[in-house]
Amino acid sequence: MAVKGTDIKDKLPGTNCKECGMPTCFGFAMKLASGKAEPDNCPYLDPQVREELEDLLAPPMKLVTIGSGAQAVSIGEEEVMFRHEKTFFHAPGFALLISDNETEEEIAGKIKRIRELQFDRVGINLKADLLALHFTSGEVARYVALVKKVATEASDIGVVLISEDTEALLKALDAYGAEKKPLLYPVTADNIVKITEYIKEKPTPVGVKAGSVEEVAALTAKLRAAGIEEIVLDPDSKNLAEAVRDQTLIRRAALKKGFRPLGFPSITFPCFMTEEKQEEVLLAAGLIAKYAGIVVLSNMESHSIFPLLVERLNIYTDPRRPMTVEEKVYEINEPDKNAPVIVTTNFALTYFAVSSEMEISKVPSYLCIQDTEGLCVLAAWSTGKFTADTISSYIKRSGIADKISHRNLIIPGYVAQIKGELEEELPDWQIIVGAREATGIPAMLKLGVKY
C-alpha cells in the first residue's frame, strides 16, 4: 500500500530547517514517500517517530533469505497482486523433501538428483533451489545425522528443517549451523516461546504454522514483538482451493491493506496434500501461479520439474523488459570456414527457436545475433532496429568475415524486403532470404543454400 507524502508530513517537526537538503518539511516528506530519502536525513526527528516512519516506509512484504552464499534463495518483497501491474520480483523456491526414514541410497540419490536436474532455457539455467529435511523417524540422532550429511555433502544448497518435535528441530539447527540460515519450521502456538528465546541467540528464518490465516497473523505479531522479522507463513491449507484462498488473503492483506502481521512470503506443501505424483505436480503449478514463496515436492523427475521451472520462469520474468541473449556470433555444430551464416535478433525466444533448429539440422553453422533490445524479427524491423543499416553495421563489427571463406548471409524470411538494401550496404556479400519460420531451417541447411 503506497504511502502518501501528506501522511508523512504530519509526523515531521515542521521547522523547515533545510538541513535535510529540502527547502520544506513537505518536500522532505514527498522525497521519503518516493523512496528517495531516508528518515535519518532529518536531524530533529524524534526517535519514536523515526521508528514509526521506518515501519511505515518498509516494503509491505518482508524479504526473507534462506541459505547463504551465491545460491541463497530470497523470497518476498513483492509489490503487486498481478504481474501485469508491474512485475513479480522474487521467484518461489522449489524444495525437494528428504525424510530421515529414507535409506542411505535414497538420500544420496535425492541429493544427486537436485544437483543434476538443471536445464538451459533461452540462456537461463533452471534448477530447484532447496532441500527440505523432514523428521519422521522419531529418532533425534537419526535426524541430526541426516542434517549433518546434507550440511557436508550439499553445503551450497539451502535447507528447510522440518520437525514437529521442537527438541529435534533445535538440535538439527545446532548441527546445521544458524549462520547458514536454514528455515526453521514449524513455529506453532505450542513452541513459539521456546523457539523465540532460541532464535534471539541464533538468528535464522522461521516458518510459522497455524490452522488459519488469522491464527498465523497472531503468531507473527508475537514474533515481531520479539524482534524476529525473517518469517515465512503457512496457514496449513489442505487442498488447492484452500491454498488459493489463503495465499490470496495473505497477499491482499499485506499489499492492499498494509497489514504487517501478514507481510511475509509463504511456504506450501503440495507433497502433503496428495499421494498422487501427477496431482502433486498440478498442485505445485497452481501454487506457483498463486503467490507461493516456497513449494516443497516429495520427488523430482525431469518430466515433472521441468514444466514447473518453465512456469516459474514465465511468471517471474519482468514483462517490462523483453528476455534477451548476448549480441555475438554463436557457433552451432562446430562450424568451419565454409559454414553458412544466419543472422537474426536477440529476442531470447527467437534465439532459442532458431539455434535449436540449427542444432537439429546437424549442419555446422554460424548464428549471428544482433542486439535489437529484445524485439523479435518483425517488431525489430518495424521499429527500425533490424534493418539493412543496422544489420550491415553489426555484420561489419561482429568479426564473422574473419571466420569464413565466403560472403553469403542468410536473413529471416520475414524481412525479405530488405534484401536489396542490404546488398547495397554490404556490396561484397550475397544476401539469401531464408525460411520464414524456424522449423524450416533444418531443411534449408540440409539441402544446401544455393549461393
- The residues, any chain, with a CB within 8 Å of residue 37's CB and separated by 6 or more, are 20, 21, 22, 28, 31
Residues 342 and 217 in one domain: no
Report the amino acid identity of residue 160.
V
The reply to whether 355 and 309 lie within a common domain is no
Residue 284: closest CA among 309, 319, 249, 256: 309
Say whether both 349 and 375 belong to one domain: yes
Binding site residue list: 17, 20, 25, 42, 344, 350, 374-377, 438
Tell me, yes or no, whether 285 and 362 share the same domain. Answer: no
- Measure the CA–CA gap between 187 and 164, rounded to whole angstroms: 9
Tell me the average pLDDT across 116-129.
Answer: 85
Binding annotation for 5-methoxybenzimidazolylcob(I)amide:
344, 350, 374-377, 438
Last residue of a domain, one of 57, 73, 96: 57
Cell of 244: 488459493
pLDDT at 2: 59
Domain-located, residue 323: no
Q: Answer yes or no: is 321 within a domain.
A: no
Which among 315, 345, 376 is the end of a domain?
315
At residue 451, the pLDDT reads 38
The average pLDDT across 201-212 equals 95
91-108 pLDDT per residue, tens: 999 999 999 999 999 999
The neighbour count for residue 59, using CB atoms within 10 Å, is 15
pLDDT of residue 37: 80
| Whole-structure pTM value | 0.76
Q: Are residues 422 and 354 in the same domain?
A: yes
Domain that holds residue 438: 328-447
What confidence tier does 112 reach under pLDDT thresholds 50, 70, 90?
very high
Q: What is the mean predicted confidence (pLDDT) over 396-408?
A: 95
Do 201 and 276 lie in one domain? The reply is yes
Same structural domain, 311 and 228: yes
- Residue 26 resides in a domain: yes
Residue list for the binding site for [4Fe-4S] cluster: 17, 20, 25, 42
pLDDT top residue among 12 and 365? 365
User: Phi, psi at residue 222, to the nearest 5°?
Assistant: -65, -40
* Count of the separate structural domains present in the chain: 3
Statement: residue 113 has pLDDT above 70: yes
Tell me the pLDDT of the chain averaged across its residues: 92
Is residue 36 assigned to a domain?
A: yes
* Structural domain contains residue 322: no
pLDDT value at residue 322: 74
Q: Residue 179's domain is classified under what CATH number?
A: 3.20.20.20
Residue 340 domain-assigned? yes
Cell of residue 419, nine digits: 534484401
* Per-residue CA distances from 184 to 68, 202, 262 (Å): 15, 11, 18
Q: pLDDT tier at 141 (50, 70, 90 boundaries)? A: very high
Whether residue 112 sits in one domain with residue 24: no
DSSP 97-114: EEETTS-HHHHHHHHHHH
Set of cell numbers at residue 227: 524482534
Picking from 277, 292, 315, the residue at the C-terminal end of a domain is: 315
DSSP state of 152: H
Mean pLDDT within 340-369: 94
